[in-house]
């Protein structure tokens, strides 16, 4: 199968759903940290428009993009654990102390 054939395949619904959950968590934490889309996009090395489309659900991000966004949030170890637990639905939404 060629790369172009892979590009035409629809995304796996379960993975797309999980990515959207993580993106919602990124957006919530971005706002909690009082970062603009421009600031987070610059830190993550992606375009502001791209981040806006991801946050609005117009684009499904690649895993590498999600990881860049999470790293760009610059969370402490405890915050990072809380972030992933929240994104996985293992803990209720938390606010930054």
Residue 93 pLDDT more than 70?
Answer: no
- Whole-angstrom CA distances from 15 to 10, 11, 61 are 11, 7, 11
Instruction: Please report the pLDDT score of residue 37 as a whole number.
Output: 96
Q: Average pLDDT of the chain? A: 81
* Residue at 93 is within a domain: no
Burial class (CB in 10 A: 0-12, 13-18, 19+), 19: buried
* Residue at 95 is within a domain: no
Instruction: Please report the pLDDT score of residue 5 as a whole number.
Output: 42
Query: Which residues, 6 or more positions from 72, have their beta carbon under 8 angstroms from its beta carbon?
Result: 40, 43, 44, 45
**Number of domains the chain is built from:** 1
* Residue at 1 is within a domain: no
pTM here is: 0.72
pLDDT bucket at 1, cuts 50 / 70 / 90: very low
Q: Domain with 73 in it: what CATH number?
A: 1.10.260.40
Q: What is the pLDDT of residues 45-75, one digit of tens each?
A: 999 999 999 999 888 888 889 889 999 999 9
Instruction: Report d(CA 91, CA 89) in Å as an integer.
Output: 6
* Residue at 47 is within a domain: yes
């Amino acid at each position: 199968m060629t790369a172009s054939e892979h590009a035409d395949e629809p995304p796996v619904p379960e993975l797309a759903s999980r990515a959207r959950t993580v993106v919602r968590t990124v957006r919530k934490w971005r706002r909690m940290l009082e970062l603009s889309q421009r600031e987070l996009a610059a830190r993550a090395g992606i375009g502001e428009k791209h981040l806006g489309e991801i946050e609005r659900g117009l684009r499904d991000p690649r895993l590498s993009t999600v990881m860049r966004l999470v790293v760009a949030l610059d969370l402490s170890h405890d915050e990072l654990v809380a972030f992933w637990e929240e994104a996985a639905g293992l803990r209720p939404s938390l606010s930054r102390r």
